[in-house]
Amino acid sequence: MKSIRCYCSNFIPLLIKSLVWGLTASTLSSCVAQPDRLTLSSGTTGGYYSRLSQQIINSADTTVGLTVRNLDSQGSQQNLQRLLNRQTDFTVAG
């Protein structure tokens, strides 16, 4: 079990960095000017997706200087609806 925890603790930061770089690359390739702020729809306050979004926000700020604003939600269905309605730039959904 210890090796699984070690793997997960190393995997999550790598996943977050990949998400931030992927998000930045896709946003920049589809825009004429670099955005200074993006909106993320995550999950309920204190939940896993909300905590994950906070890590994404911190990584985006420290690695590429991008401000990401989080919108807490009631879950993946609301996140996807916000994305479809263009109320958010990206989302976390499971």
For residue 93, the model assigns a pLDDT of 83
Q: How far apart are CA 41 and CA 65, in angstroms?
A: 19
Domain residue extents for the chain: 2-91
Where residue 30 falls among pLDDT bands split at 50, 70, 90? low
Whether the full predicted model's pTM is greater than 0.75, yes or no, is: no
Where residue 89 falls among pLDDT bands split at 50, 70, 90? very high
Is a pLDDT exceeding 70 seen at residue 54? yes
Query: Please, how many CA atoms are within 13 Å of residue 91, restricted to the half-sphere of its CB?
Result: 22
